[in-house]
Amino acid sequence: MTNTTDRHVFDENDIQITDPKSYAAGVPAVLVSLRRGLEQMGPLRTARTLARLNQRHGFDCPGCAWPETPGHRKAAEFCENGAKAVAEEATTRKVGPAFFAAHSIPELLAQTDFWLGQQGRLTHPMIIRPGGAHYEPIGWDEAYAVIAEHLRALPSPDEAIFYTSGRTSNEAAFVYQLMIRSFGTNNMPDCSNMCHESSGTALTETIGIGKGSVSVTDLEDADLILIAGQNPGTNHPRMLSVLEKAKASGATVIAINPLPEAGLLRFKDPQKVNGVLGDGAQIADEFLQIRIGGDQALFQGLAKLLLEEEDRRPGTVLDREFLDSRCAGFEQWAEHIRAVDLATVLEATGLTREQIEQTARALIASNATIVCWAMGLTQQTHGVATIEDAVALLLMRGMIGKPGAGVCPVRGHSNVQGDRTMGIWEKMPESFLQALDDEFGIRSPRRHGLDAVDSIRAMRDGAAHVFMAMGGNFLSATPDTDVTAAALRNCALTVQISTKLNRSHLVHGRTGIILPSLGRTDKDVRNGRKQLVSVEDSMSVVHLSRGGLTPAGEQLRSEVAIVCELAQALFGPDHPVPWRGFADDYDAIRDAIARVVPGFDDFNTRVRRPDGFVLPHPPRDERRFHTATGKANFVVNDLDWVPVPEGRLILQTLRSHDQYNTTIYGLDDRYRGVKGGRRVLFVNDRDLESFGFAAGDRVDLISEWPRPDGTVEARRADDFRLVPYPTPVGNVAAYYPETNPLIPLDHVARKSNTPVSKAVTIRLEAHTPRREGAAAPGTAPGRPSPGSPGRGELVHRSVAWDE
Ligand SMILES: Nc1nc2c(c(=O)[nH]1)N[C@H]1C(S)=C(S)[C@@H](COP(=O)(O)OP(=O)(O)OC[C@H]3O[C@@H](n4cnc5c(=O)[nH]c(N)nc54)[C@H](O)[C@@H]3O)O[C@H]1N2
Ligand SMILES: Nc1nc2c(c(=O)[nH]1)N[C@H]1C(S)=C(S)[C@@H](COP(=O)(O)OP(=O)(O)OC[C@H]3O[C@@H](n4cnc5c(=O)[nH]c(N)nc54)[C@H](O)[C@@H]3O)O[C@H]1N2
Ligand SMILES: [Mo]
């Protein structure tokens, strides 16, 4: 496997560590994006592709869900990591029948995620039959027939599971959920279950709609912006330009994070001369280095200080008019908050009293406050409660439904919000199901379906037998990798509709099928006409996306076509849904969406406007709250936080600067000073010392989970380098998905069932190399552990550019 002449060969044990950077973007970012494009696509395709990224006549960036600035788009409305996402998809490397013939499943399982992703675009439908070791080509019609046969053979439709990742367009998502509900189940887990489910749950309960209430303009107009549990420099880089603008017009930005993330400290805008030459703009005015899981304590502590100031100087803090006319539950909540013990708040947050008082003063001084957040808040046991307390902090001062103020959950996948709007949810409300039934003459099932965690349980326990995924990488994205692997292998059939090879293709059911699909950048022609799709960004703006690249092969089909063709095979010619018409003309799908989904009237016309259109949002538009009380709700939550048990550490699992979720772009985390490897554990100097380790030591991570019977379940992830880092004492960080085998399936957030990826109790052991060939724990002998990708060095096949 070794080819030392190849310049891409990495020895993951040869990791270089330098000091973390205190600024994001700038010239290195421009260079990295061009280099990645050239490596994957060659010069012509790179120039052509990047010129269309996020432009009105181009395609929506398959990176994050951050909106485009309406009206004035720059020539280059993208970031380094958007360019990497595009290069990853628009690559000219290919994975076809010859590749699968050459590599058996055990061989592929031994490769790293990085290596798998680097092999290129999937080009042919493939099948692996019971007992087989290789995927083999299969025709589309035969593949559909195999899937339909398996689905029809199930005793109940609820024994099938249909996953969705968040890149799927509105049109594809709508026909997909229509097929699934026509089949008879609501088992529709999606990546949102592992992402912003806590936000959706908290916002629905408090303000009556599970979406953010602000626009880009609001951010620019804000007086005060809190950014909690989010790393925009890496994951939403275009947000930095907006923050820079907000600051130029006087906003104060407070970053709340256990880590001093580069993007929050300083930002150099590569689009501007001073960004290239100068020191860049200071983004965060204050950095609250909070302990992992301390945010609810911070929000409750702040609320208490605000209530006390109102007592001292009545009428100066609370928006009484708003509270009286628009809110419910304030008095009860305030009574609860007054009883909060500030000593506990200081212990839970690790902050000083002065820091909290200063933040309280900033909240009182601000006439327009926005709270932004992402995974640092949602992936916590008390994620829903934390967000409800953040909302309460805004509501008490009337900070919603007015310019420059509101809630801003910053979404991940580029259409994760749109997929939900289109009905990808295991518990869509009755009004949606009824509208769907009325439009199509079907009978949607009413019983709620399974989310991601419950789907794994069902497959593990033999209660579900067919698993199908519209994009994503279910195995690597979900917690408890070995348990998920066993669950998937327990299925009769697994089907992956994908653009790129990933670990989920290698851990399959008795029969496994791969269906290669077009991506966002690809030209989609049906019936001689170029088809358009639409997406909804993090701020509820719906707009078109038009791919333009020549697809990786003749065999690729669009997600819409795949769903409609499978539905025809499954339901036969007499089904009431016009599948054929939908596959040939996406305008017809949009016309149906317009009749079923609120806010989409005149969809086909409005989506063709230059900047698309904004969906209704009652709290933002008219300060109306469609909750059970008809008002904005203050919810009383007991204070919860994450103490560090003696001799243990709390691990958060996060993204490096060189990955898109489970897709690994490269092995460098530039802003955090890591080069050439991913198996690192960021740890405070004092913990290094107290545990008797030195920088660079190799350790094994063992997570501990108490069973109901009092015993402890241990999970391991082996061989991580210790990297001293400015993280709070007792709190450590490492990358996902390498650490997912450590997260117990039952470690979930209350109410949202989201895996708690940001607070896992672990201990360290000095790394003991395992005997060569010995099976990793949790796997059958001879079968490589799906969660511990092999350390095989990276070897690139030579590829010929076709453009
Ligand atoms: N380039 C790139 N862009 C992406 C993605 C990607 O992988 N790569 N993924 C996309 C997706 S799906 C998503 S959901 C988003 C994710 O965007 P983020 O949520 O920014 O992603 P994470 O890397 O998980 O970072 C979580 C941040 O929360 C902090 N944190 C951890 N625990 C706590 C805590 O208890 N309290 C507080 N206050 N902070 C905490 C971490 O230090 C880190 O800065 O990005 C999207 N955009
Ligand atoms: N430990 C830990 N686990 C986490 C997280 C964490 O912070 N820590 N974050 C969670 C979050 S926020 C999320 S959103 C999930 C992400 O979970 P997923 O969305 O399931 O994972 P991705 O890595 O984004 O999926 C990548 C795969 O999608 C396929 N793909 C890409 N584009 C397309 C397309 O256009 N069409 C189709 N059909 N396929 C496509 C490719 O085959 C690629 O390999 O992971 C979650 N898991
Ligand atoms: Mo996400």
State pLDDT tens for residues 711-764: 999 999 999 999 999 999 999 999 999 999 999 999 999 999 999 999 999 999
C-alpha dist (Å) from residue 308 to 315, 332, 390, 648: 12, 16, 18, 37
> Which residue minimizes the CA distance to atom 18 of ligand 1?
230
Atom from ligand 1 closest to the CA of residue 82: 1
Atom from ligand 2 closest to the CA of residue 163: 20
What percent of the chain clears pLDDT 70, i.e. is strictly above it?
A: 91
Residue written as tokens 């709290």? Answer: 619
For a substitution probing ligand 2, which of 473, 504, 762 has the most ligand atoms within 8 Å of its CB?
Answer: 473
782, pLDDT greater than 90: no
211 Cα–ligand 2 center, Å: 21
Answer yes or no: are the C-beta atoms of 766 and 697 closer than 8 Å: yes
174 Cα–ligand 1 center, Å: 28
> Which residue minimizes the CA distance to atom 44 of ligand 1?
231
656 Cα–ligand 1 center, Å: 9
196, pLDDT greater than 90: yes
Q: What is the CATH number of the domain that holds 685?
A: 2.40.40.20
pLDDT at 39: 80
504 and 610 in a common domain: yes
565, pLDDT greater than 80: yes
For a substitution probing ligand 1, which of 652, 682, 683, 738 has the most ligand atoms within 8 Å of its CB?
Answer: 652
Residue 740's nearest CA partner among 648, 652, 644 is: 652
726 and 687 in a common domain: yes
Our count of domains for the chain comes to: 3
pLDDT at 274: 57
217 and 178 in a common domain: no
Answer yes or no: are the C-beta atoms of 579 and 568 closer than 8 Å: yes
367 and 226 in a common domain: yes
427 and 402 in a common domain: no
Residue 18 banded pLDDT, cuts 50, 70, 90: confident
Out of 358, 386, 409, pick the residue that ends a domain. Answer: 409
Long-range CB contacts (within 8 A, 24+) of 319-323: 319/396, 319/397, 319/398, 321/398, 322/395, 322/398, 322/623, 323/395, 323/396, 323/398
β-bridge partners, 282: 266
Each residue's pLDDT tens digit, 510-531: 999 999 999 999 999 998 999 9
216 and 188 in a common domain: no
pLDDT at 769: 79
Each residue's pLDDT tens digit, 683-704: 999 999 999 999 999 999 999 9
Amino acid letter for position 399: M
Strand ranges, E, within 655-750: 659-660, 663-664, 674-675, 680-683, 698-706, 712-724, 731-735
What percent of the chain clears pLDDT 90, i.e. is strictly above it?
A: 80
Residue 474's nearest CA partner among 449, 492, 494 is: 494
Out of 361, 382, 409, pick the residue that ends a domain. Answer: 409
Q: In the predicted model, what is the mean pLDDT of residues 565-590?
A: 98
380 and 487 in a common domain: no
762 Cα–ligand 1 center, Å: 20
83 lines ligand 1 (CB under 6 A): no
Residue 789 banded pLDDT, cuts 50, 70, 90: very low
Look at residue 40 and tell me if it is in a domain: no
Q: Is the peptide bond before 598 cis (omega within 30 degrees of 0)?
A: no
Residue 11 banded pLDDT, cuts 50, 70, 90: very low
The pTM score is 0.93
Look at residue 314 and tell me if it is in a domain: yes
pLDDT at 220: 96
Answer yes or no: are the C-beta atoms of 543 and 60 closer than 8 Å: yes
Each residue's pLDDT tens digit, 614-630: 999 999 999 999 999 99
460 and 356 in a common domain: no
Residue 168's nearest CA partner among 521, 423, 416 is: 416
Helix (H/G/I), strand (E/B), else coil: 471: coil
Residues in the chain: 803
290 lines ligand 1 (CB under 6 A): yes
Atom from ligand 1 closest to the CA of residue 85: 1
Ligand nearest to the CA of 63: 1
pLDDT at 447: 98
691 and 586 in a common domain: no
> Which residue minimizes the CA distance to atom 24 of ligand 1?
654
pLDDT at 474: 98
Helix (H/G/I), strand (E/B), else coil: 674: strand
Which residues have C-beta atoms less than 6 Å from ligand 2? 165-167, 191, 194-195, 375, 379, 412-413, 470-474, 477, 497-500, 502, 517, 519-520, 559, 653, 661-663, 736, 739-740, 743, 757
Look at residue 77 and tell me if it is in a domain: no
Cα 391 from Cα 146, distance rounded (Å): 49
Look at residue 395 and tell me if it is in a domain: yes
796, pLDDT greater than 60: no
Q: What is the CATH number of the domain that holds 244?
A: 3.40.228.10
Phi-psi region of 775 (alpha: psi -120 to 50; beta: other; left: phi over 0): beta
Look at residue 63 and tell me if it is in a domain: no
Answer yes or no: are the C-beta atoms of 452 and 163 closer than 8 Å: yes
- Enumerate residues with CB within 5 Å of ligand 3 (an ion): 195, 412
User: Phi and psi of 38, rounded to 5°?
Assistant: -65, -40
391 and 290 in a common domain: yes
Out of 389, 409, 429, pick the residue that ends a domain. Answer: 409
Look at residue 359 and tell me if it is in a domain: yes
Joined tokens for residue 195: 């992402």
Answer yes or no: are the C-beta atoms of 423 and 171 closer than 8 Å: no
Atom from ligand 2 closest to the CA of residue 195: 12
| Domain interval for residue 398 | 197-409
Look at residue 1 and tell me if it is in a domain: no
Q: Who's near 642: CB < 8 A, 6+ residues apart?
A: 291, 292, 293, 294, 348, 380, 381, 650, 759
191 Cα–ligand 3 center, Å: 6
Look at residue 692 and tell me if it is in a domain: yes
Q: What is the CATH number of the domain that holds 564?
A: 3.40.50.740
Each residue's pLDDT tens digit, 82-130: 888 888 888 889 999 999 999 999 999 999 999 999 999 999 999 999 9
Joined tokens for residue 740: 């997912």
124 and 210 in a common domain: no
276, pLDDT greater than 50: yes
404 and 283 in a common domain: yes
The span from the first CA to the last CA of the chain, in angstroms, equals: 29
776, pLDDT greater than 80: no
Answer yes or no: are the C-beta atoms of 362 and 399 closer than 8 Å: no
